[in-house]
Chains A and B, each alone.
Chain A
Amino acid sequence: MSKDLFRQTKGGLIDRNQTITFQFNDTTYQGYSGDSLASALMANGIYLTARSFKYHRPRGIVGSGYEEPSSLVELVGDEESGNQPITRVQIRPGLNARSVNCWPSPNFDLMAINQYISKLIPAAFYYKTFKWPNWHFFEPSIRRAAGLASAPNKTHHQGHYETRNAHCDLLIVGAGPAGLIAALQAARSGARVILADDGLESGGSLLSQHLKIGGKEAIDWVRETTASLDAMDNVTRLTEATVWAYREHNLLVITERSPATPNVFQRSWRVRAKQVLIATGAIERNLVFANNDRPGVMMASAIQSYVNRYAVKPGKRAVLFANNSSIYAVARDLKASGVELVAVIDSRSSVNDLPEDLQDIHVFRNFVVEQCHGTKHLSAITIKNAATGETTKIVCDLLGVSGGWNPTVHLFSQSRGKVKYDANLATFIPGEAVQACQCIGSASAIFTLQQVMEDAVQKTLQALDLDPGNAILLPPLEPEAEYSIEALWHVDLNESLCSKSFIDIQNDVTLSDVHLAMREGFDAVEHVKRYTTAGMGIDQGKTGNLNVIGAIALKNGCEPDEVGTTTFRSPFVPIEFGALTGIREGSVYLPYRHTSITQWNKDHGAKMYESGARWRRPGYYPRSDELFQTTVNRESRLVREGLAVYDGAPLGKFEIKGPDALKLIDMLYTNNFDNLKVGMGRYGLMLNEDGIIFDDGVTFKLADNHYFMSTSTGNADTVNQHMEFFLQTHRPDWRVKITTITTQWANATLCGPKAREMMQALGTDIDLSNEAFPFMAMREGKVGGFQARVCRVSFTGELSFEINVRSRDSLALWETIMEVGKPFNISPVGSESNHVLRVEKGFLSLGHEADGTTTPQDLGLNWAMSKTKTDYIGKRANEIRLAENPSRWQLVGLLPDDPKELVDESAPITPGGRRESSEGFVTACVWSVVHNRVIALALLENGQHRMDETIYIRRKDHVVTAKVTAPCFYDVKGQLLRS
């Protein structure tokens, strides 16, 4: 097999006994269990894996993990998902992946033509052109060219996402050497520990390096340590679990990419941690030089990972290029892998820290790589002596680059910790922590294993407030060279080369682009970023951002810290939206409330509506093939002429009790309650302190100091809040207790001329005569065998009895009513007919008639505004508003001249029906069954003084004329409801 040419015969964390077949760009390949898609392709000799975003240049694999800036794939089939870094996809049987944003293939990409016009399309070129005839003319083709993968268009077939909440004493982010030793230290102390790592298995950088710990291979130490952690109950160890957000009050969010639970795709954890250790390691920076994006140019640490972890040979003839000492460990491992190491280009001028054992390597000190040769694959490089300028060409097919190490401070920065520039390390390192967290290991800019482990143990003890005496013993480690670096933000541009030096590989941003931006005045780092789009790709510039800052600093002749950083935002890596919400979908997305008779309603064909505060209520009960209006007319007529029943259970209900109950009610409502007699109720109007109408409802006096208040359905919760707020924060000395009983009581409202007969038929010990039980009274007793509070209130204008029973009795009551009511032809009615009936009566529905600017006086509710009370909530604001704003929109009735034309609710009334600012609007319009014509309610400027005037309702296509009337069309004196 050809792949053997690219695979070492032994070593690595792959299982050579398990061959896996997969597809990439429609070709079938084989790899081993443990391979990532990147390593498997590399082992197959595939180096051209992508095309770039803008210029469609050939691209290969650059990194080995989440930092991968170059090759993105989309997964096809059931696991459809786009824009996955090729390095983060594990191969598995049936895997089908393809490169994004190239057609037909990375090898032959038609859009590669962009390379030839690249001079015309520098950074931000689009701001300067595409203006004629207009942007819309160009936009569709630009949009098609942009974007990367296709959007997924289906969801998983089976299974679900999940979310969890967790608390812990210590959350350790990252299970590399620092995280593991910290976890061990913390776990031994008994603390509750969560250890989360992004990788397939714990170990972090140890998985990719050849190190000895305690005399053993590092991987053995990793596996022993994880085994002992797993044996402890106080440790939760997560793998393939990315901590991607650090929120306020030490809340962190983790997403597990493949939890062990069957049928769970992904699981997110919201962790509230007492302390956090950020052990996220460091990310290697890229180096910027001409054609640094050629397939075959890779991060040095990635090469190390491929040769050690995956036992791959990423090339035949390798050169390494670095500005720091970490390159020599890579050189050592590369040599051991059997890849020919041709040379090391070390840009440092002053340091010579070539290890003893590598003296045979050809090192070009104080040299840089000037450019790469080759098109679809690296064929050679030209190096340049930084002192003399002399150049040399070296033939090679693999170039490993290391621009130095950036501590992974993303989470630390998200936690609001400030980062500071360290000139010796040429990078930003964590400064003072703001929340309860610390960076440990290389995330805190410590680079030798010995120091990393000592630091981790010491900071763990600190975090858990333990004595140094509790420190665990560290395993013996081999000596390591100190990390040393000389900043090299980019190799000097050589204009004569006419080639591009990429500073952000993913977004195709070059060094020239950054310089262009600065020439044009975009010199703040945020300006450069936004003007060039550097760092705004899927990788969010993990390998390139600091080079942008460095390039700006070089140009401005300042230090990088004077340039500043851009903000590190969540998420650390892209996270599937599905993983954020877990099972919160479908029926539990917004759980709805329903009454005891919801099932009965559904069984009887009710059309259910959302009706505020998450309640679902019947809108109407159509019979077989009835049209909507026919049903509503039938139901409305039934109430006016016979008998109907309405499920009013969702109405907000409160019991208010205590010596100061009346004081509270008088404060809440605009009208007076102090003369209300026991057993009687009164309509009340509630304002907020701004004088805006807030709610209305009927309150009954059950006994002295004991009231039963009802509110509108939608406002029950906010009224509760309003009352408790006033009571607890403004009048904590008042002795009142408010109890919400909305769902303790349910009711069935009998309405219609035959309601009293029906009550009789149900059987009750309550005296139903109008004298003994008048309108607005409440009586307690048995109805149909059920203990009930019966209220004579009416929202329809007809004789009504609202039978309140315990919720658990309400279905039985309802069924009894249906049975007993048969001789009366009883039928349930819904909110649609209620709306018609209340409009006929001119009763208010706050959602319709009050739009926030309406005052009670505008609605003709002057009678509800107490003249005698010195105070109630909203009184003062109402007075000021009326005094200062004499011209008001007031409630009126409307009779359209065409009695058959239903006008849209919300339609504006304008002077003369002209297209100009409105002088009112239609709040409700219905077909009146008593008048057999259309009637409407409206708010109209100065309306109370414009009776009989003709006004003009401006519909979009024509004008409807209507006559202004009083806002009541039926039983104006209210005799029926009092009958």
Chain B
Amino acid sequence: MLQISCPFCGPRNEVEFVYGGPLKNRRPDDISQIDDTTWIDYLTVPKNPLGPVQERWWHVRGCGCWLTITRDTRSHDIIESEIES
């Protein structure tokens, strides 16, 4: 059970959160400008590092904020945690 530091609520148990997948770039405003291959990669190819990964968690059983945390996939240590600005 991870302990995730919510910038609003403080350190909380993982069960208060819902996992939202690895961080992706902000969705472009005009997707028609992007070629198919780039878009397919955007949809299907995540970063899968053996090491720190940025990922999203939703504090649904808390303040309702989506957080971005940086977590090491080898140790589960959380290096950083922030909200979208």
Contacts and interface: CB of A to CB of B under 8 A. Distances in A.
Complex: A in contact with B (CB within 8 Å)? yes
Interface of A: 247-251, 270, 272, 416, 434, 689-690, 721, 724-726, 728-732, 870-871, 875-877, 880
B47 interface: no
In the complex, which of the residues B18, B30, B31 has the most CB atoms of chain A within 10 Å of its own CB atom?
A: B31
Contacts of A272: 3, 13
Contacts of B76: 248-249
Given A721-B58, A729-B66, A876 B2 contact: no
Interface string B44-85: 000000000000101010001110100000011110000011
A248 B1 contact: yes
B20 interface: yes
A724 B84 CA distance: 12
A67 B20 CA distance: 44
A724 B66 CA distance: 8
18 contacts: A247-B1, A248-B2, A249-B1, A249-B2, A249-B3, A249-B76, A251-B3, A270-B1, A416-B75, A690-B43, A721-B18, A721-B58, A728-B65, A728-B66, A729-B20, A729-B84, A871-B32, A880-B36
B43 A724 contact: no
A46 B78 CA distance: 55
Contacts of A877: 39, 43
A244 to B, nearest CB: 15
7 A-B pairs with the lowest CB-CB distances in the bound complex, closest first:
A249-B3, A728-B66, A730-B27, A248-B76, A732-B84, A876-B31, A251-B1
Contacts of B32: 870-871, 876
B30 A870 contact: yes
B43 A434 contact: no
Nearest to A732: B84
A775 to B, nearest CB: 34
Given A729-B56, A871-B29, 20 more contacts: A248-B75, A248-B76, A249-B1, A249-B76, A249-B78, A689-B43, A690-B43, A721-B18, A721-B60, A725-B20, A725-B56, A728-B65, A729-B20, A732-B84, A870-B30, A871-B31, A871-B32, A876-B34, A877-B43, A880-B40
Contact of B58 (A725, A730, A871, A875): A725
Contacts of A880: 36, 39-40
B2 A724 contact: no
B74 to A, nearest CB: 9
A876 B27 contact: no
A250 B18 CA distance: 21
A651 B44 CA distance: 31
A643 B18 CA distance: 43
Nearest to B23: A729
A416 B84 CA distance: 32
Contacts of A434: 75
Contacts of A876: 31-32, 34, 39
Contacts of B30: 870-871
Contacts of A725: 20, 56, 58, 66
Interface in B7-28: 13, 18, 20, 26-27
A940 to B, nearest CB: 28
A724 B57 CA distance: 11
A251 to B, nearest CB: 5
A724 B3 contact: no
A731 B84 CA distance: 10
Nearest to B18: A721
B31 A724 contact: no
Contacts of B2: 248-249
Contact of B31 (A250, A732, A875): A875
Contacts of B13: 272
Contacts of B3: 249-251, 272
Contact of A728 (B1, B43, B84): B84
Nearest to B78: A249
Contacts of A690: 43
A207 B65 CA distance: 53
A724 B2 CA distance: 22
Contacts of B58: 721, 724-725
A880 B44 CA distance: 13
Contacts of B84: 728-729, 732
B52 to A, nearest CB: 15
Contacts of B36: 880
Contacts of A870: 30, 32
Which of A728, A871, A875 has its CB near the most chain B CB atoms (within 10 A)? Answer: A728
Nearest to B39: A876
Contacts of A251: 1, 3
Contacts of A732: 84-85
A964 B63 CA distance: 52
A578 to B, nearest CB: 20
Contacts of B39: 876-877, 880
A725 B84 CA distance: 10
Contacts of A728: 65-66, 84
A876 B41 CA distance: 13
Contacts of B66: 724-725, 728-729
B51 to A, nearest CB: 15
Contacts of B60: 721
A190 B76 CA distance: 31
A690 B39 CA distance: 10
Contacts of B43: 689-690, 877
A690 B77 CA distance: 31
Nearest to A416: B75
Nearest to B40: A880
A139 B58 CA distance: 49
Contacts of A689: 43
B53 to A, nearest CB: 15
Nearest to B34: A876
A871 B33 CA distance: 11
Contacts of A875: 31
A270 B76 CA distance: 18
A875 B75 CA distance: 38
B2 to A, nearest CB: 6
B73 to A, nearest CB: 12
Q: Which of A721, A729, A731, A732 has the most B CB atoms < 10 Å from its CB? A: A729
Contacts of A871: 29-32
Nearest to A877: B43
Contacts of B27: 726, 730-731
Contacts of B56: 725, 729
A877 B20 CA distance: 20
Contacts of B78: 249
A270 B13 CA distance: 11
A878 B36 CA distance: 12
B50 to A, nearest CB: 15
Contacts of B34: 876
Contacts of B1: 247-249, 251, 270
A730 B26 contact: yes
Nearest to B42: A689
Nearest to A253: B1
A900 to B, nearest CB: 47
B36 to A, nearest CB: 6
A251 B34 CA distance: 45
Contacts of A247: 1
A351 to B, nearest CB: 42
A730 B40 CA distance: 18
A251 B4 CA distance: 13
Contacts of A270: 1
A731 B2 CA distance: 28
A730 B25 CA distance: 8
Among B39, B66, B84, chain A packs the most CB atoms within 10 A around the CB of B66
A871 B27 CA distance: 11
A173 B65 CA distance: 37
A729 B2 CA distance: 22
Contacts of B20: 721, 725, 729
A270 B2 CA distance: 12
A128 B13 CA distance: 49
A721 B18 CA distance: 9
A721 B58 CA distance: 8
